[in-house]
Chains A and B, each alone.
Chain A
């Protein structure tokens, strides 16, 4: 069991989130005398007719106290004999969803409050969905205000069946349920005498004992995204970062992603101490046995399942007042790497309250959608379900510098295959070689028809003649490093361009070399066929 539990409390407005945490702190004598005294004084002039208003312990901004609402996440720290806790108290209003998501990204466990008199609401579902999206794997559904529901077991049971449905819908593996009253104190820190039918733990007991299910960062291999290169003088060059998964020891061979260069570990440091081995979570400095090209944003890895890819699909939570502009460049940050990237398309929007998939071409603040993203260069990424650190991202507006969106990576690569892909077993290159362009003389428009997506492996024969194109049997098509070689109408692997055959772009268009007239060359390709 970890000795620190980070949890978030959420639920709809007025479900008593702040009151609940305030009550735990107060009951457990976890607030200082001066704070307790201030609380009593504030409560006397507050809105609860002199009763202690525990929420005043948490709502710290002037605007919040004036309006009696929570706008932003508050973090509270307390320790019992068994464990230390950090509680993130999240706002319930839909307009502050992004602030609630901030708290969720921080937490290992979510307490979702449900008002016993109102049951599972849209907001309950929204909060559970966002917590799940942001990576929380342990849930506690706390049915609050049982005092107002006459402590009735029937009311509790009917809410339980709604919660079970929600658990199934969101595929929540670990989710507990308990009845309580935050204002009256039932089952908060002491067992309720009003609900003898409930025999489970109190909230505090639950928090002290719960084992949280976490996303295991890749589990398998070693990965450390480089934050910075440390070079105090010419004799020392060390890569500094936090180990995200696995372990590495002196003498191990590490691979730098994305360049794939390899080197051996010469020395390892934790702070000022040299150590023989480093482990997940530690902030390390790694010295390698030879100079190689690696800098911030590269990842040092060993046996890790990481991929270098430009394209991936991610579920985005849009957080900016300005709507998502498809095709515009944003900055994307994954791990420690910052790169220009475009959102190419919105696959579908997800209704935050119901989970329905909806067609969409705009994305507004507080909306969620599955989007396809293309970075300007290869990024080292993983699926979010494998790695919290290399599977999550933020998008930053290039002009306002606002954090426009956060997201979790769901698919890597093209995802749903598009176009014509060449694969030699090591490298995959996507092209538009067999696109068909139809000119509509009536409207004056050109329509692009994409072929059935297909993958060609070494030796596969290609359909070089179609209704709108005819390629020669031998040519090279441009790719990022080497060309794609087509010989005798078959895919012959990747390699440098050979000048004996014509060179085409990835879109199937002729490429001018050595000052040749491109039109002449293109014609020669078409008509020689």
Chain B
């Protein structure tokens, strides 16, 4: 078996164990390339049955428009239930990425996620996190246990031996499950090519209206994005290496408008994919802190 086939087999094994042993699983669907790979793996794992769990998208209200239309088309095409959850309380208070910085991520993503998991009483939630993304992720188990308050205790993780996963929990507790923990960004792209997986067009370079701000290229996805004095909108051929909330996601200038070109650029890249996430660059340990508090 090739390297990719081994990674695929590992992920499918994990999907099946959770479906067989956990009471109420759900799959977090963030619309990005990792989510597309996850959904493809889940489809393969259970065929000819459909994946026996719903998808959950935490909508901050600030995702790229193309992401939302891709999400809805995917759910329709696959015939799956797509639960969309928004922290309405936060939205009513006008919490937004421009004025509220870290509080925005906490309220509209972390709190929203916790509210949704509690509301639907999910006992296991699949996520597309990978250990090569960030240092605290590199330490996380594939089956990552969460307390009743959704907190992660990195200093006291459950041992995880061979592929004997322990899925047992007490009432109120839950498990985050990361089937593609051992994949790298390169593996994800090569798998997308090998399997012909559909991804959001934002990953491919195209002329888009953007503004240069704090060293990032931010796309003007709708008119809620206000320009500061001295800033101007420009048309640039850009693509995105990761996808999130558009005001917080930096693009890169690129000519890569085919999958092969994107892969070639990615493999030659000099910076890691998370540099395009504005929130990650705040302080060392910021990811761990957010994860302890319940972020994916």
Contacts and interface: CB of A to CB of B under 8 A. Distances in A.
Interface in B207-261: none
Which of A231, A240, A241, A319 is packed against the most chain B CB atoms within 10 Å? A240
Interface stretch (B2-10, B59-67, B92-100, B116-124): B2-10
B199 to A, nearest CB: 19
B106 interface: no
A32 interface: yes
Given A32-B269, A71-B155, A72-B154, A333 B9 contact: no
Given A60-B136, A74-B138, A271 B3 contact: no
A101 interface: yes
Interface in A18-67: 32-35, 38, 42, 58-63, 65
Which of A42, A230, A238, A406 is packed against the most chain B CB atoms within 10 Å? A230
Given A34-B271, A61-B139, A77 B184 contact: yes
A384 to B, nearest CB: 10
Contact of B166 (A227, A333, A388, A389): A333
A521 B132 CA distance: 72
Contact of B158 (A34, A336, A403): A403
Contacts of B158: 402-403
Contacts of A401: 166, 168-170
Contacts of B48: 230, 232, 236, 238, 269, 272
Nearest to A272: B47
Majority SS of interface residues in chain A?
mixed
Nearest to A406: B161
Interface stretch (A303-311, A391-399, A452-460): A391-399
Given A32-B271, A42-B284, A102-B161, A77 B132 contact: yes
B14 to A, nearest CB: 10
A62 B288 contact: yes
B249 to A, nearest CB: 16
A34 B166 contact: no
A338 B3 CA distance: 30
B282 interface: no
B9 A232 contact: no
Interface string B119-163: 000000000000110111111010000000000001101111111
A75 B270 contact: no
Nearest to B131: A75
B86 interface: no
Contacts of A34: 271-272, 275
Interface of A: 3-4, 32-35, 38, 42, 58-63, 65, 71-77, 79, 84, 86, 98-99, 101-102, 105-106, 134-135, 227-228, 230-232, 236, 238, 240-242, 269, 271-272, 281-283, 285, 296, 319, 331, 333-334, 336, 338, 388-389, 392-394, 396, 401-403, 406
8 contacts: A35-B272, A62-B288, A63-B154, A77-B131, A281-B9, A282-B5, A388-B162, A392-B161
Given A236-B48, A283-B9, A334-B164, 18 more contacts: A3-B3, A4-B6, A32-B269, A32-B270, A33-B271, A60-B134, A62-B288, A240-B16, A242-B13, A281-B9, A285-B47, A296-B21, A319-B159, A336-B20, A338-B21, A401-B166, A403-B158, A406-B162
Closest CB pairs A-B (n = 8):
A60-B135, A271-B44, A32-B272, A283-B12, A228-B20, A401-B168, A232-B49, A227-B16
